[in-house]
Amino acid sequence: MRKEFAILQTCLQTAGQIARRHLGKVNYRLKSKANLVTQADVACQKAMLQIIRANFPQHDFLAEENGLKNTGSPWRWVIDPIDGTTNFAHTMPHFSISVALACKNDIVLGGVYDVCTDELFLARKGKGATLNGKKIHVSTVNKLQDALLVTGFPYEREKQINELLALFKNFILSCHDIRRLGSAALDLCWVAAGRFDGYWEKDLNPWDVCAGKLILEEAGGKITDYRGKKWQTLSLFGRQILASNGKIHREMCDIIKEGSLSHTAAARTRRPAARV
């Protein structure tokens, strides 16, 4: 996998340079009410797909900005050209490039590059995870009450806003604090590096999380769906993510369960009584 790993890093560096050049000169269009896309997203993706096509013409890929090649190859690159586009478009220096390589449904390589801090997170399956060449490991915090958490909110949020806020409320009353930084790939990497202890978010896509998942697991962390069940890597369904250092995972699952029960009960009492 030496060549694949080198190409993955070339992709990240090349896209990083493009993003840096575009930063501050951003014009965007909307994919939906709150979902932005910039010229930089498209240019970064184009450059990375060119590199991949030139080096691995047989490989498939799945990239966020309408980049799909699906010939049935066991090898598939999963790419988010800019993760944190809303930050990028507002010149907030917190966004990343995320690239993973999967063999069948197994992620074997993952890399996330934080362009503004020049932090490069890398992982190879079974070989650990690194940040700028140094091994990283999840935190040792073992109680939710001592944890710093991170989360994100889906773009399609209107219909589920009460449910999202109910969960946020339950978490913020149970831990040290919560951050919302705006790049799911970096959220996962920051749990991997022990900066956060846990992360939850729903309605994510494979390109947001594939690289970060491997980095987190290789750093000793755990990633599941909201019920604590195995997370289906490349499926577009069941897109909830619960990630942690492993030690507070059960407590986080319990909070989510309580949150959804109290939300369902509140929704029931809000509903007008049926006519008799």
Nearest to 188 by CA among 174, 164, 204, 168: 204
Part of the chain binding ligand IPD (CB under 6 A), chosen from 69-77, 129-137, 152-160, 168-176: 152-160
Neighbouring residues of 113: CB distance < 8 A, sequence distance ≥ 6 = 12, 13, 15, 16, 96, 97, 98, 119, 120, 121
Give the separation between CA 131 and CA 126, rounded to whole angstroms. 16
201 lies in the site for Ca ion, by CB under 5 A: no
Part of the chain binding ligand IPD (CB under 6 A), chosen from 13-21, 148-156, 160-168, 260-268: 148-156
Residue among 4, 60, 65, 80 that touches ligand IPD (CB under 6 A): 80
45 lies in the site for ligand IPD, by CB under 6 A: no
Alpha helices in the chain (DSSP H): 2-22, 39-55, 85-89, 161-172, 184-192, 206-218, 249-270
85 lies in the site for ligand IPD, by CB under 6 A: yes
83 lies in the site for ligand IPD, by CB under 6 A: yes
Nearer of residues 112 and 247 to ligand IPD, judged by Cβ:
112
Q: Which of 64, 114, 187, 218 is catalytic?
A: 64
Nearer of residues 154 and 238 to ligand IPD, judged by Cβ:
154
Min. distance of Cβ 12 from Ca ion in angstroms? 14
Part of the chain binding ligand IPD (CB under 6 A), chosen from 102-110, 180-188, 226-234, 252-260: 180-188
**How many other C-beta atoms are found inside a 10 Å radius of the C-beta of residue 118?**
10
Output the DSSP codes for 67-78.
EEE-SS-SEEEE
Give the separation between CA 258 and CA 242, rounded to whole angstroms. 15
Residue among 80, 187, 197, 217 that touches Ca ion (CB under 5 A): 80
Classified as helix, coil or strand, 222 is: strand
Part of the chain binding ligand IPD (CB under 6 A), chosen from 44-52, 79-87, 157-165, 265-273: 79-87
80 is catalytic: yes
64 is catalytic: yes
Nearest to 196 by CA among 241, 154, 129, 146: 146
Computed on alpha carbons and rounded to an integer, the radius of gyration of the chain in Å comes to 19
The residue to which tokens 């013409």 are assigned = 57
Site string for ligand IPD, 211-250 (x = CB under 6 A): ----------------------------------------
255 is catalytic: no
Classified as helix, coil or strand, 101 is: strand
85 is catalytic: yes
114 lies in the site for ligand IPD, by CB under 6 A: no
Taking the CA atoms of residue 239, residue 178, residue 119 and residue 39 in that order, the dihedral angle to the nearest 10 degrees is: 60
Q: Which of 4, 41, 80, 197 is catalytic?
A: 80
Residues acting as catalytic residues: 64, 80, 82-83, 85, 208
- Per CB under 5 A, residues contacting Ca ion are 64, 80, 82-83, 208
Residues that bind ligand IPD (CB under 6 A): 80, 83-86, 152-154, 182-184, 201, 204, 208
